Amino acid sequence: AETVADLCEDRELVVASNRQPYSHNYEGETDDRGAIDVDRPAGGLTAALDPVMQAVEGTWVAWGDGDADREVVGPDDTVAVPPEDPAYDLKRVWLTDEQVEGYYRGYSNQVLWPLCHLDTAKMTPREEFWREYRETNADFADAILDSTDDAGSDPVVWFQDYHLALAPRRVRNARPDAFLAHFWHIPWPSRDVFRACPQYEQLLDGLLANDLVGFHTEDYCRNFLDCVEAATDARVDRASSSVSYRGHRTFVRSFPLGIDASRQADLAESDEADEWWAEFSETHGIDPSDTLAVGVERLDYTKGIEQRLAALERFWADNPERRGEFTYVQKGTESRSGIEAYDRLQDRVAAEIERINDRFGTDDWTPVIYTTDHLPGAAIAALYREADLGLVTPVRDGMNLVAKEYVAAQTRDPGVLVLSELAGATDQLGDGAVLVHPYDTPGFADGIAEALSLSLAERRTRVADLQREVHAKDVYEWLESTFETAAAVERGRRSLRQS
C-alpha cells in the first residue's frame, strides 16, 4: 500500500476490471427475494487489491453483475465497500443483455480469449461482438471519467485484462495527463497469430494509450512489441522496451503475477482444511496409504483437462499395479456456460471421466473422483496438501496460479508439481517441477511415473526451491514492482514535460 500511495500521492487511484470485488445478491429466488447477501472476492487478484484499495481509498469500476447490485448503489452507481467498514467506492457499470452477449461472451471470450491462447479455430469474430465490445469499453471509460471528474489532480487508472483493451484510448483523449497502466492477465500471441483478429490495429491503438502495459512474461512482452512493430507506424525501442506512438510513449514490462503464499500455507494448515479432508476422504474411501493426484481449474479448454485424462488413462493402462491405489481428484468449476465451446467441454469431460471409471474402476475403487461443487479455499488447500502430485497441465496459460497454490500448500509430506511446458508459470517454476507436454500422451504418462518415483529427499529439495520462489514473488511483490515501475515511468514523464 505504501508504494501505491507513493505513486498516487494526492491523486486518485481508479482500478477498472470486468469482474467486481463485491457483488450483492438476493438471498432468495425471484418470488421471495428477501435479504441481500454480499459475495466476497474469490480470485487472488481481487483479494490482493482489495486491501490496497482500502488503504488508498480509491475507486473500483466494474460490471455490476449481482442481481441486487442496483439496490445498494447511490445515484452515481457507487456503493462504499467493504460493507462492514466502508473505505473505498465500488462504481458499477450496467450491461444490457446485448452487451453481456456481445462484449463479455462474444468479443472477450470468443475472440480475444481463443486468439491469445493460440486457438484461432475457436475465434468467432462476429460484427455485433465487436460493436458491443467497443460500446462497453466506452461505457467503462465514461464511468472512469465520471468517477474522477471532481478529483483535483490527474488520476491514476489501472486497467485489468483483455476485456478493456479500448477503454484507455477514450480515457486518454479526455484526460491527457492521467497516468494509465494496464495489466494483461493472459498470454500475448506472436504477430502472425495476432493478425488473425480483424481488429488488431484498433486493439493496439487502445492499449498504446497507456503509459505502462504489463504482461506475465518476457515472451509476451516481446510478442507485443513485435505486433506493434508489424502493424503500426509506431517506433519501437527494444533497449528500453518502449513504444512511441501518436506522440505518446508506452513502456512494456513483465510482472509475473503471484499469490498470497503465506495465506495459502495457513489455509492448508487450518482446522477447516483438516475437517473437510476427514469428511471427503471418508466419503470417497481414500486411505492414508493411497497415492493421490489433483487437478483444480475452471472448466476451460485452455486448461488441458481432456489431454490430462488421456495421459492418466495411459498411465493406468501401462501400470496395472497402480490401479486401486493411485486416484485422481478433478475439481472443475463451471465457467462461461452458454458459450458452445464451454458447454461442450463440460459434457466431454464428464463423459470421459465416466468412461475411464467404467474401464478401470472396481467395486471399491474409483480412478477419477470428479466434483464441480463450490469448495471453500480451505477445502482446496486440503486437496493440494494431501495430493502427492499436483497436475497443472494447461495447453496454454498466461501464468497459472494453481501451480503456485499447490506449491505453497505443501506444508507436510512434500508433493510433486507436474507442470505443462506451455504455462507461463514454467518460467519461474520449471526447474523444480516435472515438466510434461500436454499433447504428448505417452511422455505425459511417463512424467507421472517419474514424479511418483522421486525420493523424499528429492521432493523436499524441489518443494523448498519452489516455495522460496512462490513466497519471494508473491502477489504483494507483484503489486510493489508494478507500482515502483509506474512511479519511475511517471517521474520520467514529468521531467520530460518540464524540460
- 162 neighbors 112 (Cβ within 8 angstroms): yes
- The rounded distance, in Å, linking the Cα atoms of 425 and 296 is 15
- The rounded distance, in Å, linking the Cα atoms of 108 and 129 is 9
- Choice between 184 and 360, CB closer to ligand G6P: 184
Number of residues that bind ligand G6P (CB under 6 A): 6
Residue 396 is a binding residue for ligand G6P (CB under 6 A)? no
CB of 161 to ligand G6P, least distance (A): 4
- The rounded distance, in Å, linking the Cα atoms of 417 and 432 is 8
- Choice between 352 and 397, CB closer to ligand G6P: 397
Question: Would you report the helix, strand and coil content of the chain in percent, each value rounded to 5?
Answer: 50, 20, 30
Which member of 11, 175, 185, 473 binds ligand G6P (CB under 6 A)?
185
- Choice between 335 and 372, CB closer to ligand G6P: 335
Q: How far is CA 235 from CA 144, 232, 240, in A?
A: 29, 9, 12
Residue 182 is a binding residue for ligand G6P (CB under 6 A)? no
- The rounded distance, in Å, linking the Cα atoms of 383 and 245 is 49
- Choice between 120 and 335, CB closer to ligand G6P: 335
Neighbours of 36 (CB within 10 A): 16
Which member of 124, 254, 335, 485 binds ligand G6P (CB under 6 A)?
335
Select from 466, 452, 60, 58 the least CA-distant residue to 292. Answer: 452
Q: How far is CA 265 from CA 262, 384, 409, in A?
A: 5, 10, 5
Which member of 1, 3, 5, 19 binds ligand G6P (CB under 6 A)?
19
For residue 17, report the phi and psi dihedrals to the nearest 5 degrees.
-145, 160
Residue 336 is a binding residue for ligand G6P (CB under 6 A)? yes
- Choice between 161 and 474, CB closer to ligand G6P: 161
- Choice between 302 and 366, CB closer to ligand G6P: 302
Binding track over 140-169 against ligand G6P, x by CB under 6 A = ---------------------x--------
CB of 108 to ligand G6P, least distance (A): 7
Which member of 16, 49, 171, 186 binds ligand G6P (CB under 6 A)?
186
Footprint of ligand G6P on this chain (CB under 6 A)?
19, 161, 185-186, 335-336
